[in-house]
Amino acid sequence: MARHNREGRGLDQLGNLWRISYQPDWFRLLKLSRPVPGGRRSSRTLCRNPARTADAEPGRSVRTRISAADGSVDVAVSIEDRDQVVDHVIIGVRRKRGRKTELLRFAVHGGLPKRRI
């Protein structure tokens, strides 16, 4: 049976605070990538699950919520995964920063290994 979501937080490349709500038995880590001058992208791990193994089955759906502390982004995804085959989810978000809009890419990685008995 799936357990209640946990809360995590992390700072991005620019020092912005992000809050993450995740499933403790599926979520492994969340990465954020954003464009930088010169056409390249910069990536950073925002949050890791402190657990190294799952204590229970993750349940039938993958649920994650990502929000910026300043309120500029607040997204939640829920994907039905009855057969537990989802490994990761990519979320693209357009965020206004003054006159500019930047495209942020979040990679939600799951697949937390089961605890060995």
Q: How far apart are CA 65 and CA 19, in angstroms?
A: 8
Which tokens hold the place of 3? Answer: 């357990």
Q: Output the pTM of the full model.
A: 0.90
Label residue 18 left, alpha or beta by phi (over 0 means left) and psi (-120 to 50 means alpha): beta
What band does 1 get if pLDDT is binned at 50, 70 and 90? low
CA geometry: angle at 108 spanning 103 and 112, to 5°?
170
79: pLDDT strictly greater than 70: yes
